[in-house]
């Protein structure tokens, strides 16, 4: 599995450390431990629900232990990735992918394929130098040439391609970009170096794909604010980590993959998707926030009202805008949680892994507000269990907010 981890200012790394066999060895160990601690020991036939799929950690862990899982995401790239990771692959699929890897690299070495266009990412040389970019253009076209559309072979090669495109990236977006000649060809010595990276990544992915899950997974493209349109119950346990109220755009983080795999072709569509996502605030999402008004059925909370008022009246010109952002985040979460009870079996548990936030020194007690929503909706046995500190700021903590539906 691809792990996208943020370091410094928009720097992305892969974590290839193995903790288990199969796809789970590619899963972030911290996330895996949380999910497995909540899943292990459940009765056979337990149905698991994750309304915020992300990179598919809950679905993968659940299916690996023999459970059925349904998961939802609004981002089509993440739906694809989770589907690939939780699918079953035959020995023939594995062998065909290894052979297709060799064929693709041969096409690249011989320049025997027309390179695909460079993705229209703004200031692309800050992401990849010319040699890396040209290699990726040839490799992306070669994958299309050797692997049929919608085939397991292409899917597995593209996961390895995603790993490779980050490994050959500049990996630090705050560095000044260099000027490169537009030669349109790749130097042979670099082709061999980058090709070895891709070949190693294919081998790594195939080792994971050899271990097929014992359970079943359904990955659905949909909006979790409207659960009734995209999911059917009843579920015995919900394990999820929704977006945090921290102004971090998950679309912005994922755009290298989404552009190279043709899920995005312009910044406008990226902004549109971010506006639809809970917690999104990038591009047009920020400008639209200026005109957004709270719906009449918004979440009623004295605690939240106090937080919003403090943020709005802070000594900062963006205070009012950020208060709107926080209000919209919790109104969206309220819309999501309000649609959850009809999907739950009696006695079902819910576990929401959330983090608190600060805006201009004002603490947003996310865990308390989730707990309050659960109480209003009629859940019982509500707890806010701290899990870990999120970073060097001692006040920022991740919580497991749990409850039971009766």
**Under DSSP, is residue 104 helix (H, G, I), strand (E, B) or coil?**
helix
Q: Which pLDDT score is estimated for 301?
A: 96
Burial class (CB in 10 A: 0-12, 13-18, 19+), 179: exposed
Helix (H) or strand (E) holding 5: strand 5-7
Q: Which pLDDT score is estimated for 225?
A: 95
Helix (H) or strand (E) holding 131: helix 130-146
- Measured N-to-C along each axis, helices 91-109 and 152-167 cross at an angle, to the nearest 10 degrees, of 50
Helix (H) or strand (E) holding 166: helix 152-167
pTM (2 d.p.): 0.88
Distance CA 4, CA 55 (A): 9
Quote the longest CA-to-CA distance of the chain.
Answer: 67
Preceding omega of 364 cis (within 30 degrees of 0) = no
Q: Per residue of the chain (406 residues), what is the pLDDT tens digit?
A: 344 333 322 222 333 333 344 555 555 677 888 999 999 899 999 999 999 999 999 999 999 999 999 999 999 999 999 999 999 999 999 999 999 999 999 999 999 999 999 999 988 888 898 889 999 999 999 999 999 999 999 999 999 999 999 888 885 433 333 333 343 455 565 667 899 999 999 999 999 999 899 999 999 999 999 999 999 889 999 999 999 998 888 888 899 999 999 999 998 899 899 999 999 887 788 888 888 989 888 999 999 999 999 999 988 788 999 999 999 999 999 999 999 999 999 999 999 999 999 998 899 999 999 999 999 999 999 999 999 887 656 778 999 999 999 9
Q: Which pLDDT score is estimated for 384?
A: 97
Q: Which pLDDT score is estimated for 210?
A: 93
Beta bridge partners of 364: 357
Q: Which pLDDT score is estimated for 178?
A: 31
Taking alpha carbons only, the member of 247, 337, 325 closest to residue 297 is: 337
């Amino acid at each position: 599995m691809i792990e996208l981890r943020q370091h410094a200012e928009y720097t992305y790394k892969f974590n290839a450390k193995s903790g288990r066999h199969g796809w789970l060895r590619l899963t972030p160990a911290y996330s895996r431990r949380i999910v497995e601690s909540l899943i292990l020991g459940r009765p056979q036939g337990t149905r698991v629900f994750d309304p915020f799929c992300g990179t598919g950690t809950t679905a993968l862990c659940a299916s690996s232990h023999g459970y059925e899982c349904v998961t939802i995401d609004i981002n089509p790239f993440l739906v694809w990735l989770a589907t690939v990771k939780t699918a079953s692959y035959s020995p023939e699929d594995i062998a065909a992918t290894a052979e297709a890897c060799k064929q693709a690299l041969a096409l690249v070495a011989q320049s025997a394929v027309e390179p695909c266009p460079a993705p229209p990412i703004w200031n692309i040389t800050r992401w990849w130098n010319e040699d890396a970019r040209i290699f990726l253009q040839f490799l992306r076209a070669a994958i299309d040439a050797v692997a049929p559309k919608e085939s397991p072979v292409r899917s597995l090669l593209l996961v390895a391609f995603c790993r490779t495109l980050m490994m050959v990236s500049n990996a630090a977006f705050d560095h000044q970009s260099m000027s490169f000649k537009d030669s349109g060809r790749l130097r042979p010595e670099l082709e061999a170096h980058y090709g070895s990276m891709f070949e190693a990544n294919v081998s790594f992915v195939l080792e994971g794909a050899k271990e097929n899950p014992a359970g079943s997974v359904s990955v659905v493209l949909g909006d979790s604010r409207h659960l009734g349109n995209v999911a059917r119950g009843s579920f015995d346990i919900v394990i999820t980590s929704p977006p945090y109220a921290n102004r971090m755009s998950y679309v912005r983080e994922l755009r290298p993959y989404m552009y190279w795999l043709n899920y995005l072709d312009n910044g406008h569509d990226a902004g549109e998707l971010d506006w639809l996502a809970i917690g999104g605030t990038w591009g047009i999402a920020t400008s639209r926030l200026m005109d957004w008004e709270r719906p009449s059925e918004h979440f009623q909370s004295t605690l939240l009202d106090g937080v919003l008022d403090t943020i709005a009246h802070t000594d900062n010109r963006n205070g009012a805008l950020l208060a709107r952002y926080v209000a919209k985040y919790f109104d969206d979460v309220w819309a999501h949680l309000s649609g959850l009870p009809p999907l739950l079996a009696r006695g079902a548990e819910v576990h929401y892994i959330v983090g608190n936030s600060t805006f201009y020194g004002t603490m947003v007690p996310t865990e308390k507000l989730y707990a309050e929503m659960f109480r209003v909706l009629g859940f019982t046995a509500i707890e806010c269990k701290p899990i870990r500190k999120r970073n060097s700021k001692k006040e920022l903590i991740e919580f497991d907010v749990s409850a039971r539906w009766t």
